[in-house]
Amino acid sequence: MIDVAIIIGSTRPGRKGEAVAGWVHDRAVKRGDARFEVVDLADFALPSLDEPMPAITGQYAQPHTHTWAAKIASFDAYVFVTPEYNHSAPGPLKNAIDFLYAEWTNKAVGFVGYGSAGGVRAIEHLRLVMSCLQVAHVSAQVELSLFSDFEDFTAFHPAGRHEDTLTTLLDQVIAWSSALKPLRTGEHHGA
C-alpha cells in the first residue's frame, strides 16, 4: 500500500494550513487505497539549512536532519498544502525540502494551494523544485481562494467543487507513486 504524507507547508502562527490539511486528510482516508498522514513542519522545528554537506551526498550531520530524513523517507508520495507568500512558497517549506535529496526522489507529489490567487504561483515554484529532485508532480491541483473558500478570510469552508479536484489529485498521486515503485525499490532494469 502507498504511504502518502500530507505536508503542512506553513509554520506561521494563525496559519490556515492545519484546517486545509485536515480537510485533505479527512477525505483521503475514506479512500482505502493508500495510507495518509499529516506531517506538520512546525513539529520538526528545522533551523535555516545548517548542513555542511550538500543534501545530494546524504551525509547528514545534524540530529534534526536525521529525524526529518527518516520521516520523509517513510513515504511513497506527498501532498503539499501550501499558502502563497509574495508570489511563492513559504520559506520554511523550501528550507525543509532543501535539507534532503534522496528521500524525495522517485516519488509523486500533488499540491493543494491557498491564497488570494489560490496558491497557484507557490505551486508553480514548487513544481520546478520537485522536478530538480526527480519527483513526479501530477497535473491536478486544488486552488483554494481566501475570498471564496474562507469565511471572513479565516474560517475554512471550501466550495464543493474542490472535492472532485482533490479526488483527481489523489488518484493521480497514488497511480504515479505506484508506477514509480520499481525505481524506489531497485526492481527496474536499466538499458
| Exposure string for 135-146, b = 16+ CB within 10 A, e = fewer | bbbbebbbbbbb
Q: Which amino acid, 74?
A: S
How many C-alpha atoms does 24 have within 13 Å on its Cβ side? 35
Over residues 102-123, the pLDDT tens digits come to 999 999 999 999 999 999 999 9
Q: What percentage of the chain reaches a pLDDT higher than 70?
A: 97
Pick left, alpha or beta for residue 12 (phi over 0 → left; psi -120 to 50 → alpha; otherwise beta): beta
Share of the chain above pLDDT 90, in %: 94
> Which amino acid, one-letter code, is at 10?
S
Binned at pLDDT 50, 70 and 90, residue 6 comes out as: very high
Q: DSSP E strands: which ranges in 27-107?
A: 34-40, 77-83
At 100, which helix (H) or strand (E)? none
For residue 158, the SS3 value is: coil
3-class SS of residue 17: helix
Q: Which of 31, 34, 30, 66 is nearest to 51 (CA)?
A: 66
Residue with cell 551525509: 59
Q: Do the bridges between strand 77-83 and strand 34-40 make them parallel or antiparallel, or are there none, so unpaired? A: unpaired
| Cell triple for 68 | 526529518
pLDDT tens-digit profile of 7-52? 999 999 999 999 999 999 999 999 999 999 999 999 999 999 999 9
The pTM assigned to this predicted structure is 0.95
